[in-house]
Amino acid sequence: MERGGVLLALSFIFLTFFIQETRVVVAVPAQVAWTDTGLEVEEGEALIFEASGTISLQAGNPEGFCDPEGLDLKTAQQPLIEEKLGMLIGKVARLLSTEIDPETKEIKRLEEERLFPIGRTREIEMPLSGRLYLGINENVVEDNSGEFLVVIRKFRK
Ligand SMILES: [Ca+2]
């Protein structure tokens, strides 16, 4: 290929790379408080979430099943108290500093966090720059089962 052709091919690859959307599929187990999506997001960036699946919020409770919109119920103790129990929710965490405990040698992470509701499908502007996590709007997650499958899409600008 002559030089002009190579340059044209390279610029095509470059453009395709930059307009292509990012698409990530994340399984969110109901018995885990926060699942790391592996995505670093930027404040103001719009992400599109599409979630499916059914989870149980309490083992043995036939009324305890819900989809990503949650149960028609709110409790005083859940991460987002204005939203339905069991709803799919998100969190962006920005690391402020780390310190090592002199006794246990454990690394403590001091983070700034922002939580937001997601549900079944929603486009959300990220409230903060940082790591994106997904979770269930419930505090007692140990007795849960099942998982939500969440597709996260982002278009490059
Ligand atoms: Ca539960």
Domains, the chain, ordered by start: 22-155 (2.60.120.430)
Query: Quick check: 21 pLDDT over 70?
Result: yes
Q: Residue 23 C-alpha to ligand 1 middle, in angstroms?
A: 30
pLDDT tier, 25 (very low <50, low <70, confident <90, very high otherwise): very high
Measured CA to CA, the distance from residue 19 to residue 22 in angstroms comes to 9
pTM (2 d.p.): 0.83
76 or 133, which is more confident? 133
Query: Quick check: 74 pLDDT over 60?
Result: yes
Measured CA to CA, the distance from residue 4 to residue 25 in angstroms comes to 39
From the list 114, 119, 152, the residue with the least C-alpha distance to 131 is 114
Burial 115-139 (b: 16+ CB within 10 A, else e): bbbbbeebebebbbebbbbbbbbbe
Q: Residue 149 C-alpha to ligand 1 middle, in angstroms?
A: 18
Query: Quick check: 46 pLDDT over 80?
Result: yes
* Cβ 67 vs Cβ 85: under 8 Å: no
Query: Quick check: 90 pLDDT over 70?
Result: yes
Q: Average per-residue pLDDT in the chain?
A: 91
Q: Residue 81 C-alpha to ligand 1 middle, in angstroms?
A: 15
Query: Quick check: 1 pLDDT over 60?
Result: no
Neighbouring residues of the ion ligand 1, judged by CB less than 5 Å: 57-58, 140, 143-144
Q: Residue 63 C-alpha to ligand 1 middle, in angstroms?
A: 12
| Strand positions, DSSP E, 1-157 | 21-29, 34-41, 46-52, 55-56, 65-66, 88-100, 107-117, 121-125, 130-136, 145-155
